[in-house]
Structure 1
Amino acid sequence: MKTTIKAQKGVGMMEVLVSMLILSIAVLGFVALQVRATSATDEALSRSDALIILNGLAERIRLNSNGDYKAVIPATQPACVSARNCNENNQALADLFEQKSIADYKGIRLGVVDCVGTSANQSRLCLIAAWDNTTATIMAKNQKNRCLNSDDGRYAEDSHCLVLEAY
């Protein structure tokens, strides 16, 4: 019995290797959770920014209901901002430019299109904010990086966008 006690003088190499393996798997699990949490936080921040921008644009559309908000968003600030006698369409361009400037600063792309499945009697505008690789538009299912499907109006898989209906 004395020979077995003297032969055991510490932790064996096999026990150390097994404990290191278990510890490394646990550390890798925590790292994966941290990466996922960071990604979810970024997505939530983008959604929050997009919602604020789209709500601002929707309020401007309600204020200027006769303006053409489906127009191409201008690259430069329209003269309407400084003029007092501005028509509805020029005011719409100025509103689009201002909201686009805010969105560009946040890394968000804006789009304004007719919503899928609405009638001419009750047309609705879809205000789209997209980020990452998603384009702010409605396209067919076979096209990549779209926000919404053109046949049913649903969000595309793996899209990073937010849609707000305005009427």
Structure 2
Amino acid sequence: MNVFSIQRGVGLVEVMVALLLLAVAVLGFSAMQLSAVKATDESLMRTQSLSAIKTLSESMRVLPDSSSVYRKQINDIYKSSSSENLIASYCTKVDEYAVSAKKCNTTNCTSDEVVNYNVGAIVKSACSKDIILNIEICPNTSRVNERQCIIAAWNQTKPTMVDEKASCTDASGSYKPAASCFIMEAY
């Protein structure tokens, strides 16, 4: 009996096992790539939302006596949006609002007109990045030390602080586990 006849087909089995291991490795690498892309997208949304919040906060600080006007304008835009397909509805309201805001600078406009113009520009920029903005009074702050919570939300998270499933936080201000949002306190 020939030694080579006993080993016939073993090379083919080794090649098939090697291909199977290679396929498993490629699938693992693909899953890792998908996870990295998701993490990058989330990081981009966080960075853009922080930029929108910071812009709004700085705009509010320029006109400190107008913070309630900012809150009202931002709230009116958000609250007039439909909860179904939230971002599309919100962006439609943003476009309507931005068109109606008078283009001005501080020398030609009242402070309310400046607020309207600033709000229009800020929410339009946020909306172009699929970010929804809202301002609420922060929980557990008194009238003497009242703080505004500027909320930026994305991925169908509602920019609210209520006990509701899709809300950013619960009524006490604790983030919900699946929420995609950021909150910044402004004085």
TM class, shorter-chain normalised?
A: 0.7 to 0.9
Contact 1:80 1:86 (8 Å CA) reproduced: no
Structure 2 CA distance, aligned partners of 1:47 and 1:77?
29
Deviations 1:22-41 (A, max 9, x none): 22211111011000100011
Structure 1 CA distance, aligned partners of 2:138 and 2:22?
53
Contact 1:54 1:128 (8 Å CA) reproduced: yes
Helix, strand or coil: the match of 1:81? coil
Q: Tell me how far 1:102 sits from its aligned partner.
A: 0.5
> What is the number of residues matched between the two proteins?
162
Helix, strand or coil: the match of 1:121? coil
Q: Gaps (5+ residues) in structure 2?
A: 78-93
Larger Rg: 1
Please give the residue correspondences for 1:6-155 in structure 2 after superposition, counting only pairs within 5 Å: 6-9=5-8, 11-67=10-66, 68-71=69-72, 72-73=76-77, 75=97, 76-79=99-102, 81=104, 84-87=108-111, 89-140=112-163, 143-150=164-171, 152-155=172-175
Structure 2 CA distance, aligned partners of 1:136 and 1:158?
13
Q: Gaps (5+ residues) in structure 1?
A: none
Structure 1 CA distance, aligned partners of 2:46 and 2:24?
33
Q: Tell me how far 1:13 sits from its aligned partner.
A: 4.1
Give the root-mean-square deviation of aligned CA atoms: 2.0
Structure 2 CA distance, aligned partners of 1:93 and 1:137?
22
Deviations 1:107-139 (A, max 9, x none): 111111111121111111111111111111112
Identity across the alignment (%): 32
Structure 2 CA distance, aligned partners of 1:77 and 1:166?
27
Deviations 1:64-97 (A, max 9, x none): 111122112462342263671413x333222211
TM superposition score normalised by structure 1: 0.86
Q: Tell me how far 1:6 sits from its aligned partner.
A: 3.9
Structure 2 CA distance, aligned partners of 1:64 and 1:28?
55
Q: State the partner residue of 2:81.
A: none
TM superposition score normalised by structure 2: 0.77
Q: Determine which structure has the larger helix proportion and give its number.
A: 2
